Structure 1
Amino acid sequence: MAETKNVLIIEDHPLFREALVTALGRAFPSEATALEADSISSGLDTLQNNKVDLVLLDLNLTDSSNFDGLTRINAARPNCPIYVVSATEGAEAFNRAKALGATGYLPKSLSLDELAAALATALDGGSWFPEVESGLSEADDEVAARIASLTPAQRRVLSGLSDGLLNKQIAFDMGISEATVKAHMTAIFRKLGANNRTQALLVYKQAVSISGDDHSAA
């Protein structure tokens, strides 16, 4: 008997969360279990307390927007495949997600059968992105690559900086010393080509944002 796969669905719209559960049931009637969360914080708690084989992540939630949530989840569980599921469509979004570590991108405009087929690919270890030409400029591509080059710990430190946390607060949350946090920051500044926190955060926000995004798409 095949081992049951746990799929974490991080989506704050109950109806679409239900649609994903239904699509998952079609793809794997008895071999997949859906774990549900409606925010990044609750998703991170679920990841900490459960074995998760795949994350389905909405872009815009109550506690994250654009690709901020993707970088946080990827930092917390770097070896777990993450599929973005969003109403935000277009070459820029698809390629930005891929550059920042997503394994796949499922537009919410997909039919239930198409979602089920894509989820079958996801749980089989495959990647699934809409076929489009690159939508990133060379400069944007370079910024995304810099963020992608950070280690999971460095991404968690950067996320803490983005939340306005002090070094001691980041150290407490990560269970490391303040000296280690400072060492990570030094490495972050070097990789991002930044001289201080402000510059590093500007690079981060450029990397996780979509130009022209109206924040209404989820």
Structure 2
Amino acid sequence: MTVARLLIADDHPLIVEALSLAARSVMPELAIDTAGTIAAAESLVRERKGYKLVLLDFLLPDARGFSGFMRLQHLLGSVPIAIVTGQRMPELAEAARALGAVGFLPKSQPLDEMARSIRTMLGGATSFPPASVGDAGASDARSRVSSLSGAQLRVLLALADGRLNKQIAGDLGITEATVKAHMTAIFRKLGVSGRTQALLAMQPLLGEAREPLH
């Protein structure tokens, strides 16, 4: 029998503990894995099966904007992912919804509210704060990025980090010619003519996060 697993990707121990307590109050038999970076979360996803839900910190050190979310989303397929954040900005919640997240959990939520949100998401529904005006830019960017292959998405995310073709090739273990071929395909699928336009088109997803509100 496959063990039901929950993945918490957050680099704050107190938040990890709170989310773990909330999740176990809902489903005591859950096996909970934790990771402090997107890279560590990706390793766990590759090694283990049976994840029912991923709770993802928006501000992990190796992610920019929603890039970490998109990396895990590509790897996990249909496994639901919820954004956990110290920011209460409505546009962030709506961007997360547009990207396909199943929830948006403020870190300031009381434990019982966290538990209710997690119960809702484990039950197959979504959990968001009251909706504001939808983020059309994020929805459009999501539609565009969904046409990219996994390799093309990795190249785009590397591009967003400011890496040159030679660096991208070395990081991804491919040739510069392959990077250029991926770039050509990315520009075509995004309907743009170059790097700058590609980054502008993806700004709703890859934009810098603001400082958390206290």
* Same fold by TM-score greater than 0.5: yes
The code of the aligned residue for 2:93 comes to F
1:191 corresponds in structure 2 to: 189
* In structure 2, C-alpha distance between the alignment counterparts of 1:13 and 1:139, rounded to whole Å: 30
Unaligned runs of 5+ in 1: none
Unaligned runs of 5+ in 2: none
1:127 aligns with 2:132: no
1:81 aligns with 2:77: no
Where do residues 8-19 of structure 1 align in structure 2 (5 Å cutoff)? 8-19=7-18
CA root-mean-square deviation = 2.6
1:21 corresponds in structure 2 to: 20
1:36 corresponds in structure 2 to: 34
1:169 corresponds in structure 2 to: 170
Q: Which moved more, 1:74-83 or 1:145-154?
A: 145-154
Instruction: Find the partner of 2:211 among 185, 208, 215.
Output: 215
2:144 corresponds in structure 1 to: 146
* Aligned residues with identical type, % of pairs: 39
SS in 2 for 1:55: strand
Residue 170 of structure 1 contacts residue 181 of structure 1 at CA under 8 Å; is this kept in 2? no
* In structure 2, C-alpha distance between the alignment counterparts of 1:150 and 1:103, rounded to whole Å: 22
Shift of 1:161: 2.2
Shift of 1:7: 0.9
Shift of 1:83: 0.6
Residue 87 of structure 2 contacts residue 212 of structure 2 at CA under 8 Å; is this kept in 1? no
Aligned length: 210
SS in 2 for 1:98: helix
1:106 corresponds in structure 2 to: 105
Residue 121 of structure 2 contacts residue 127 of structure 2 at CA under 8 Å; is this kept in 1? yes
* In structure 1, C-alpha distance between the alignment counterparts of 2:82 and 2:63, rounded to whole Å: 16
Shift of 1:4: 2.9
* In structure 2, C-alpha distance between the alignment counterparts of 1:187 and 1:217, rounded to whole Å: 39
Cα distance, 1:76–1:178 mapped onto 2, change above 3 Å: farther
Residue 91 of structure 1 contacts residue 135 of structure 1 at CA under 8 Å; is this kept in 2? no
Cα distance, 1:27–1:3 mapped onto 2, change above 3 Å: farther
